[in-house]
Structure 1
Amino acid sequence: MSYNILLVEDEKEIRRAMTNFLRREDYHVVAVETGEEALREYTKTDFHLVLLDMMLPGIGGEEVLEWIRRKSDVPILIISALNDELIQLDAFEQSVDDYVVKPFSMNILVHKIASLLRRVYEKQKKEIIYHDLRLLVNNYEVYYQEQTIELTVKEFEILQTMLLNSGKVYSREELLTVVWGYDYFGDSRNIDVHIKNIRKKLPFDCIKTVKGIGYKVDRL
């Protein structure tokens, strides 16, 4: 599925960097500088996610947020230099879905976006069929030709992550972030051990090594 993202950010360099980074991740991005442009673009396209800076010239981010919320429950991720707890809590009370404080890591932002989009748009997906492998999403059950394959929690989450995003190459660090969380600082080589164990348990090797980068599952 190709996702449409509306990026509202008045700082030119940040806007350009985010746009380029997200497009490399295969997102379709419409990037605007002002609140007025955001409202205009929002009426033209069916967006799956809005990345919204709160400090904008003209119509401010809070007004854009209120306007969108009157019309839609589209996921909104706030990008702001304001690190005040009360401001963040107020934003969540206005039904934003996540909040990122500047400066931020582009890799972390991409993972937050991917996680949010999966949660909203793939929540109806109950299972993944990959050749004769069947994985029940978030149920920690995997079958091959209806025979149960016993995976640990982390092994399942690694396999599920790659099957949900088949074709995408994951670095070890990305898999650690997605599966273990943003605050995990363990050895990235732990991923190699888990991948090795998954390969031993599966009847065929669906996980491919991408030399010098990480791992992926080929698209069907």
Structure 2
Amino acid sequence: MIISRYICLLLLLAFYLPMTAQKDLKPLVSTAEFQERLKKEAASLSSIESDFTQEKFLDVFNEKILSKGRFYYKQENMIRMDYTSPVDYQIIINGQKLKIVSEGKSNVVNLGSNQMMNEMKGMLAACMVGDLSSMTSAYKLEYYESPSLYVVKIRPVSKSVQAYISEIVISIDKKNMAVQTLRLSENAKDYTEYHFTNQQYNTLTGDEKFVIR
């Protein structure tokens, strides 16, 4: 029960692809050129900080829940999300540890002791930065493009991962290869969507925001 709870919390770390953008999609012809350019851009990226708006839809409640906050990423494998609306909430991932702060109470979980949790952490970090080279044969990747975006659809092959994630769709700006949005579908109806704005790159010098005690 505890592990399932924290897996669900990790699933909140996703961006979204607006459905309107998918109308103009067509299969990407030169995937090798795209992958090389993406890898090069990802190699020059040391940190990201951005505002975000989250939209969470749960079919059982038939409603969308909106949240806002600030997102931080820093090499290697350091992620932080500070929710500021409608409630204060914090998620920090640093290496093999996950910290959650809610209502002034914190809880720390060791990700390295659970293979599923560790795999999901690596997958989500890869998607956030746009470096898909770490994606293994455990995932099926399909590449598309629109006039302004590259779009990658990621589907897990493993049945155990499919139990929590049915598909991730990541969109990347053609101009600067920046990850703009991701849509994470937990099943056919439930999903989490994030929209990031005011992005800043390579601005974080220290690790203070990612300290887990």
What's the TM-score once normalised by structure 1's chain length?
Answer: 0.30
Larger Rg: 1 or 2? 1
Question: As a proportion of its length, which structure holds more helix?
Answer: 1
TM-score with structure 2 length normalisation?
0.31
Higher relative contact order (CA 8 A, sep 6+): 2
Q: Greater strand percent: which structure?
A: 2
